[in-house]
Chains A and B, each alone.
Chain A
Amino acid sequence: MPQDLRQSDEFTRPLRRILQAVIILCLLGVFLVWRIDSPRVERFRSHVIDQVMPSFTWAMTPVMAITELALNFQSYQSLYEQNQELRRELQQMKSWKEAALQLEQENARLLDLNKVRLDPDLTRVTGVVLADSGSPFRQSVLLNVGARDGILDGWATMDGLGLVGRISGVGAKSSRVILLTDASSRIPATIEPSGQSVLIVGDNTLAPPIDFIENPELVRPGDRIVSSGDGKVFPPGLLIGQVAKDPGGRLRVRLAADYERLKFLRVLRSTSRRDVDGPGTLIAPKQASGRLTGAAAGVLND
């Protein structure tokens, strides 16, 4: 029997070797094509995901429900402590509620005085989170809205409170949101009272660091961070979070969006989309004078 095996091995070995070589070369080719023509392969990827994910959802819902039930069951053990804590928080909340009501009335009066209209360009599409990236190195989620709902690459995504990320990769029925915590996420922002332009640089942690601060001494923990609209990446004025200082003394963002529970996300339709129509135009604007005012940017675009 072993002789049989050896003989047949001798017979099939060259064939197997050729098959191995072909498959290895094909895979290497796929990788190189991805490096050379990334947008095309990424489009193919979102097409694959688009075909596969919606057929997974029927299975995902019950599995999610059961797993969440199991996770919740663990938390029943600490029910008493939670109850006490909730009571304490409720007391604090009641006082905050009073303050909020007063502020709301004041705000309504001021808006009325100002005749403020909120930006009518900003309408939104709400999507449900289908899946996450599935890999610990990438922070992204998949939404169930896509090109058929008019979603375009680069649009801002928020949960109820704050900015969550931006759309990157749109299929017909699904789209991927790169979260602010992803290592490839860079968002231009403004720190509110001091008005400094900064960049929020994702680094795969829950609190992304703040980069390119001109005067760090003007920034205090607790300052609000909103998106700045520089480079026309995002509409300006979306809340991102608050400044916090980590033990190493580095300034980071405490994100306003609740990353623990991303379930429904709003995709903001923005009309002032900037296309990448040539190499380098997105990175280096025609006039390298730092920040442009809205009017100047408009003139340049014309």
Chain B
Amino acid sequence: MPRNSDVTRNRRPRPGIAVAVLGLAGGLLTVLGGCSPGPGTDLAAPAGPSASAGHAAWPDAIPRTGLTKGMVLPLEAYMETYPESVAIERAVQRLETQCMARYGFTYRPTPPGAFPPPNNDDSNMARRYGIADPAHAAKYGYTIGDENDVPDSGPRLSTAEISVLTGRVALRPNAAKAPSTYRGKSIPADGCQGESVTRVGAAVDTGLPGRLDYESLTKSQADPRVQKVIGAWSDCMKSKGYTVDSPLNAADLAPHSSGEAGSAEITVATADVNCKQKTDLVKVWFSVESAIQRRQVEQNHLALQDVRDRITAAVKASAAVTG
């Protein structure tokens, strides 16, 4: 299929164009070095860069608006935050650039942080129990509001560059291993990327708090107190003409287009949040889940602390690289 030259690389094509194409083929880093999780941890760190040059602002560490305002779950203290991810990525990129230069390549990847996710960590508090911000729902429905922002991927790499950067011959799963040398100089295991990631300790397994966080959401959803309030919310939605069993499935009520939310979607989203307000769903669910997570922390404290320490160490190592 020919590439669509009518669109810029960081903007979506208009639907008509996309359909036609298918038809043809069918610095504000909050480095938490030294902090210890638990009560008093500075999770209220300021968000990152505000919106500029069309880029979305970094997610709030703690929701500042809506029904989840001020809510923090216990496991969040052990999760990698978005500013930490950016700090690590920035260091990795600098090391990669230095490594690539050893092989004669000028490698300038797109700097991290320009296209943030909507949430600061795995908990996704602002949308954990479905959408929960009346003002956002009234404007964006179930969408984030950044639907037209996607990163510029930068220049595509040559096969030689990919080989030195990754140790593989292509950026595809199961791509063959690249030759172990480039122009007589040996390539690190897993390329410059592997070397750089290892040097700052970025490839640590930080999955434990995330897995526990997934389990607590599932367990809390089954709790009778939460089931009761979900039932009340569902009844409220029924009274407004919508049949839906859980607020986590509410986004499916109004299948929206790939772009901005339409009026029908906004109507459903507004009803959704309004019913959450009337039934106190978010507060009840959060309270039940907080108790579950406090027990999880007690039962897994050492392992969770180890994850937190490794994230903190990676951030410190990264700061040493970027200065």
Bind each other = no
Interface residues of A (CB under 8 A from B): none
